[in-house]
Structure 1
């Protein structure tokens, strides 16, 4: 029977330097992962990547970091190749990369649309492709999407729309990779208490989001805490391996289906 634990496993996390990605990296290191590769996009994130690397190593795991623009298919191929050369073939691949744009359809430019497609759809597709090529058998693959996939709301057409495609990628990949024992899932957090959220929201919108979830009153901020999401990621890449082809919304009752 395949080993579905985390101890001794090799992990690759796209967007793994900070926020939820950084927390997942630290969590899996604490759970006994042997080696973790984290990806980050820009020079501005390098200091946070270095801090995350230090924390991973302090937990006893090997750690490496790679900078890349994953909107390019070749960059995804290179990220996996560099990871394999540095720490071996991954058992677990997690993609947390994404961009939010809150804007009416009538005000959205072609350049903005193309950027959202590149970051949220194109990068996700080619990360999934490379994971399918390079994950070890019985591997685990998770992509971050958004709880807005369960919402009936204006202004997030490009964000929710470009993440919606990942649901279909996830279902297809779970069928295509399943013969090798690889589980493939998407996770959609609610609005998270990170800079990723606040950069797009006016104060009145923040106030609404803070009370919109069924469990908002029991959250320190009313929002989804990244510490409440990381355990679900941990579960999906370990004991939760039998879950595959699914989109799991983790949001305290912010949206549902």
Structure 2
């Protein structure tokens, strides 16, 4: 690949929220983008059209991130359409909340399948296919260290993501591929806001010293840094939360 050719990014969960902001930001940085989605084709197509409408290159493609054959096809589509894969921003995930004593184990298994197995399957394929100079960015949560009540099951899945990410960074020694995790704090997305009272939202917005919720664009900024110039940042968990401790 010559330097005149654009880099190529796959954004899992790219149809909305943080994923869409990342897809649009990476495209603005000149990358061709594959917008992955699990179920909502219309939203994914809107994201792709938002990119192409600004002169970028994007295509939407479905996959169940927990199914290796479907993830393999996702990567093959990126290679077929754009020539290879340089960046994977792995935002796909679900969040289900309840106290440990009340948590439904079927919900736990469903969340584990997407957040842990799904991240592992995508990371596995990324490890096999990312080109030199590439970057894999997985997603955790600041709650993994903040330990808010009702978040135990969700935080447990994200702690697993952190562990596999840090180990994979070391396993890819000599490949010139970075592997990092972004751990957002409270961010104003439909996934985060769903089911929360205004009182709860206001409280969470007051926690950072900057006294606001994060925006999807804030998280996309960090991903763009890791996907592009941050070649000396590797094997790290980047807490992107406005200073919550």
Show the counterpart of 2:126: 131
Show the counterpart of 1:50: 45
- Structure-2 separation of matches of 1:60 and 1:91: 20
Q: How does 1:56-205 map to 2 (within 5 A)?
A: 56-205=51-200
CA gap 1:205/1:7 in 2 versus in 1, 3 angstroms: farther
CA contact (8 A) 2:65 2:114 kept: yes
Question: 219, 224, 231: which one pairs with 1:229?
Answer: 219
Q: How many residues align?
A: 244
Aligned-pair CA distance for 1:7: 7.2
When normalised by structure 2's length, the TM-score is 0.94
Aligned-pair CA distance for 1:253: 1.6
CA contact (8 A) 1:92 1:139 kept: yes
Unaligned stretches of 5+ residues in structure 2: none
Give CA-to-partner distance per residue, 1:122-154, whole Å, 9 cap, x none.
100111000001111221110121111221322
- Structure-2 separation of matches of 1:225 and 1:158: 24
**Misfit runs of 4+, over 3 Å:** none
When normalised by structure 1's length, the TM-score is 0.90
For the aligned residue pairs, the C-alpha RMSD in angstroms reads: 1.8
Range 17-26 or range 121-130, more displaced: 17-26
Q: How does 1:28-47 map to 2 (within 5 A)?
A: 28-33=26-31, 35-42=32-39, 45-47=40-42
Unaligned stretches of 5+ residues in structure 1: 217-221
CA contact (8 A) 1:6 1:31 kept: no
